[in-house]
Homo-oligomer: A and B are copies of this chain.
Amino acid sequence: MPDPRKSALEPMLRKLEYGAFLNGEDRDALLSLPHMNKTVEAHTYILREGDKPTHACLMLSGLTYRHKIVANGARQIVSLHMAGDLVDLQNALLGTADHHVQALTRSDVAFIPLEAIKNIAFDRPAIGQAMWYDTLVDGSIFREWIANVGRRDARTRLAHLFCEYALRMEAAGLGDHNEWELPMTQEVLADCTGLTPVHVNRMLKSLEQDGLISRTRRSVTVRDWKALAAAGDFQSAYLHLPAHKLALTQ
Contacts and interface: CB of A to CB of B under 8 A. Distances in A.
A48 interface: no
A76 B147 contact: yes
Interface string A192-209: 011000000000000000
B238 A140 contact: no
A225 interface: no
B151 A70 contact: yes
Nearest to A50: B237
Interface residues of A, number: 49
A116 to B, nearest CB: 15
State the majority secondary structure of interface residues on A: helix
Contacts of A74: 151
A99 B139 CA distance: 12
Interface stretch (A35-43, A124-132, A216-224): A124-132
A135 interface: yes
Q: Which of A93, A143, A233 has the most CB of B within 10 A?
A: A143
B233 A94 contact: no
A184 interface: no
A68 interface: yes
Interface string A118-145: 1000100100110011011111101111
B90 A194 contact: no
B143 A237 contact: no
A27 interface: no
Given A66-B143, A128-B128, A151 B76 contact: yes
A145 B98 CA distance: 13
28 contacts: A68-B143, A68-B144, A70-B147, A70-B233, A71-B152, A71-B156, A72-B152, A76-B147, A76-B150, A78-B143, A90-B140, A93-B132, A94-B133, A94-B140, A95-B240, A98-B140, A99-B143, A118-B129, A132-B132, A135-B136, A135-B139, A139-B139, A142-B145, A146-B146, A146-B149, A149-B150, A150-B194, A151-B194
